[in-house]
Amino acid sequence: MLVTSLLLTTQPGRARSVADLVGQLQGMQLLSVEGDQRVLATWHIPDGQNAEPEGLSEVLRAMSGEILEVALLDEEETDSEA
């Protein structure tokens, strides 16, 4: 399993609505709203799925004009049984 930590920067005052939207995506976990413009999230991608974290930024920004930037903070491979 691939695990990627994300930092989403939003339009002012839109962090909560972005967190609600992103939280509906399969594999998104540990969402945390920091202030009114930042959302931290962890994306868990099961083995066997086409995981392209770099492409996630484009997809998320296309989903909502409230998302200004998506930064990948770190990635790690984990044991899929964990």
pTM of the complete model: 0.81
Between residues 23 and 77, the one the model is more confident about: 23
In three state form, how does the secondary structure of the chain look? CEEEEEEEEECCCCHHHHHHHHCCCCCEEEEEEECCCEEEEEEEECCCCCCCHHHHHHHHHHHCCCEEEEEEEEEEECCCCC
Res. 82: pLDDT tops 50: no
What is 2-77's CATH number, 3.40.50.10210, 2.60.40.3080, 3.30.70.100, 1.10.3720.10? 3.30.70.100
Question: In this predicted structure, what is the pLDDT of residue 45?
Answer: 77
Question: In this predicted structure, what is the pLDDT of residue 80?
Answer: 54
Distance CA 53, CA 45 (A): 9
